[in-house]
Structure 1
């Protein structure tokens, strides 16, 4: 391994990762005293990192800084979490962990191992470097924590609405009205193209280039992955279409719909990762002679000061208000028509609420159950978001069958398309699935996928299919 670079090519999800939780950092620091990482600790950290591969919610804000060094540290952490090649300054590891970095024999974690004297490049001690870092931070303007949350929520809302609009357009493009590739009565369900596109882009923005995006703005990285891609893809819509097939007695179609949907989404993110790596290699080859120009232009776009951050937040706030106002006006004109456009405008209004709830639930990823933290490898935040959205989606589908009125159909469909479509996600689900598949325990990926699908479909059958059969709607 070269100085200043972490090479993660052998594994798509990375050979070295850094968890964002404080407990994991403390474990690594304590283990650095002995220089040996026991297997069970190594496995526990890997399980935690795999569970956090998709999203960690508002815990991502705890390490956010608007100084140049802070944004660099944050982007490197994201690069480590997502398995990317990323240049590391010589003293970064010493500044961040104080006791050195990392065990080259560890398979999937960042182990804290005390470096040899010749490996310490800087003549300064770790404490001196940290004091220098703290003095620099004191001179910088640090935004309040409350403003960080507001800014993050605004990013999520704007990109979430854009994700809803993109999903609606893909439904129309590949649906019966234009391309006639997908339909409500086929295993190629209406949301399959958006789930594939979102999973593919997750390989680009959420795995390979997430560190580069975070270098520009960590809020932009959250907005693109959790906001846009999480809202572009939907698990609840996928589950509901399979329930619709089951009530017609097409159980084989429902099974194949889940199987094909999982297969295509899983290989979409793999294809996205491989093409993004190829594009990164091409950029390195083309930009090898103009590194200075690229670095200066990159720093120009970087949101690394209080004023820039404030300007971006205010601009996005205005965009959010415009999107809401336009959606409300268009909804007022089309509401009584019962058209799909009216459902879209209502979805744009209620969609951000689903994104926010999913983002907050993501803090449960990597925590496990109880104080002992059992089953840390299970992303409970994503699991709860997908299952709960699927259940509410099934309940609203039952209401539409029972009431069968134009106004009720518009409201229920708008909530399904916007709020529930944004609350559930396939892109994050597939990112976690892919990380588990690349870990030491690949069986966990299939156990997690089967649990999500089986629980959602079983509860949806009780909420939706059983009333339809018994009441004969």
Structure 2
């Protein structure tokens, strides 16, 4: 009898271990790009007590799960779910240092806004550099759409700073890691602009170009983040090799922004920068608005761009949570999916409005919102990080299902919002 009960208990523990490992992998995959405000230290600290209790129970019944999580914490390139991070940090019983939760939010949002504006400016410069005016590589009439270079470069940089070196940046400042990945790289790349160009190609009768545009774009973006990850790994290996040969320890970082004083100083610095950027952009919009054109559209886009970054950051907290109380389909990053699809839909709606109204002031405002707010609300770099994490997981087919869901939803809803009114001559 004892042998039978022991066998049942071992089997139950094995099933529990498999389920926990499966759920953990689903969360890690869907949180590969961004987890929103759950990444903030104040949020993790406030949720640590309840999470710590559940991990104590796991450690008593299944030590294998805990040891696996500890190994991943020590791995420099691993991506952990929020629960695992909270459980590992709370065991130290150290008081949290830093700003209160409200100021922590404000500091992170200010830094994201500054980097978001820089992302909008970089995307604009890349459009001009590779567009018809200079290099003539991209255009609105081919599958090589205007935002393709920025999507590729942003995905490449996401491999560096969002995958390989994200932990290293977080050791210095977690707000800086969020600002670079969510703020700059998320704003440098845009899914809504990509989808809109494919919609416009399909409306003009080039359906095959639209299909090829999605396929070629997805392949180039996926290749870009893989190339970024591999080159970053090579650079890390080279740096470690040089440190070993010089006898220095490169892992010690003495400039960590962890105290409340340092964090407050950084927040005030970025607040001043944001005020200057918004002030300059506002003055330029006022000067250029009466003339219209790309200059007025750009500066207006820089003013509204941070709003898109903030909305996407808040939506990202849905990544890894699944649907309902049961947490169904945890492997789908619903936050990123909602941000990309909603931005594509609003982009199509505004394009319809612009075609219907068609005056200078409307074109300036609508194009500025499309390029700034919606361009920052949608993202390809985060999408690429999630796609790559799914492709390298135990279930690689999920990457392609996720890509098909994102593209098909955005394109289909865009057809209903944009293409049908255009075909009817509205």
TM-score (norm 2): 0.86
Deviations 1:18-45 (A, max 9, x none): xxxxxxxxxxxxx9x9587532332222
Tell me if 1:354 matches 2:308.
yes
> Is 2:353 the counterpart of 1:374?
no
Aligned to 1:464: 418
Distance 1:156 1:448, change over 3 A: same
**Cα contact 1:157–1:352 (8 A) shared by 2:** yes
TM-superposed CA distance for 1:302, in Å, is 1.8
1:262 positional shift: 0.3
> Is 2:262 aligned against 1:284?
no
Tell me if 1:439 matches 2:393. Answer: yes
SS of the residue corresponding to residue 287 of structure 1 reads helix
User: Which residue in the other structure is 1:14 paired with?
Assistant: none
Residue 450 of structure 1 aligns with which residue? 404
Using the alignment, how far apart are the partners of 1:409 and 1:456 within structure 2?
23
**Counterpart residue number, 1:416:** 370
Contact 1:52–1:365 (8 Å) recurs in 2? yes
- Partner Cα separation in structure 2 for residue 411 and residue 132 of structure 1: 52
Q: 2:341 and 2:189 mapped to 1: Cα distance? A: 15
The answer as to 2:150 corresponding to 1:194 is yes
The reply on whether 1:42 has 2:21 as its aligned counterpart is: yes
Q: CA deviation at 1:288?
A: 1.3
Per-residue CA distance 1:189-238 (angstroms, 9 max, x = gap): 00000000000000000000001000110000000001100000000000
Identify the match of residue 221 of structure 1 among 172, 177, 193: 177
Residues 59-92 of structure 1 show CA distances to partners (whole Å, capped at 9, x for unaligned) of: 11146799xxxxxxxxxxxxxxxxxxxxxxxxxx
Residue 350 of structure 1 deviates from its aligned partner by 0.3
Deviation at 1:445, TM superposition (A): 0.5
Structure 2 runs not aligned, ≥5 long? 1-9, 46-54, 72-87
Q: Deviations over 1:219-266 (max 9, x none)?
A: 000000011000000000000000110110000000000000000000
Aligned match of 1:61 in 40, 53, 61? 40
1:238 aligned to 2:194? yes
Maintained 8 Å contact 1:102/1:110: no
Instruction: Give 3-state SS (helix, strand or coil) of 2:40's partner.
Output: helix
Matched-pair contact (CA < 8 Å) for 2:319–2:334: yes
Q: Of the candidates 155, 168, 177, which is equivalent to residue 133 of structure 2? A: 177
**2:124, 2:361 → 1: CA distance?**
20
Cα distance change, pair 397–102 in 1 and its aligned pair in 2 (3 A) = farther
Cα drift, residue 132 of structure 1: 9.9
Give 1:448 deviation, angstroms. Answer: 0.6
Q: Specify the alignment match of 2:50 in structure 1.
A: none
Gap change, CA 1:179 and 1:443, over 3 Å in 2: same
Cα distance in 2 between the residues matched to 1:359 and 1:429: 13
Q: 1:169 to 1:131 in 2, by over 3 A?
A: closer
| Pick aligned residue for 1:391 from 342, 345, 352 | 345
> Shift in Å at residue 304 of structure 1?
2.3
Of 97, 102, 120, which residue of structure 2 is paired with 1:146?
Answer: 102
Is 451-460 or 35-44 further displaced after alignment? 35-44
* C-alpha distance in structure 2 between counterparts of 1:388 and 1:268, whole Å: 25
- Counterpart of 2:123 in structure 1 is 167
Question: 1:307-358 CA distances to partner (integer Å, 9 max, x unpaired)?
Answer: 1111111000000000000000011111122211111100110000000000
CA drift at 1:110:
2.9
> Greater shift after overlay, 268-277 or 331-340?
331-340
Matched residue, 1:11 = none
Change (3 A) 1:131 1:104: closer
Root-mean-square deviation (CA, aligned residues, Å) is: 2.8
- Judge conservation of contact 1:65–1:142 (CA < 8 Å) in 2: no
Name the SS of the counterpart of 1:38 in structure 2. Answer: helix
Question: 1:404: Cα distance to partner?
Answer: 1.1
Q: What runs of 5+ residues in structure 1 fail to find an aligned partner?
A: 1-30, 67-93, 113-128
Q: Distance in 1 between matches of 2:325 and 2:15?
A: 26
SS in 1 for 2:212: helix
| Other-structure match for 2:262 | 308
Instruction: Tell me if the contact between 2:337 and 2:406 (Cα under 8 Å) persists in the aligned partners.
Output: yes
Contact 1:170–1:193 (Cα < 8 Å) also in 2: yes
Q: Does 1:364 align with 2:318?
A: yes
State the TM-score, normalizing by the size of structure 1: 0.77
SS of 1:190's equivalent? coil
3-state DSSP of counterpart to 1:110: helix
**Per the alignment, in what secondary structure is the counterpart of residue 205 of structure 1?**
helix
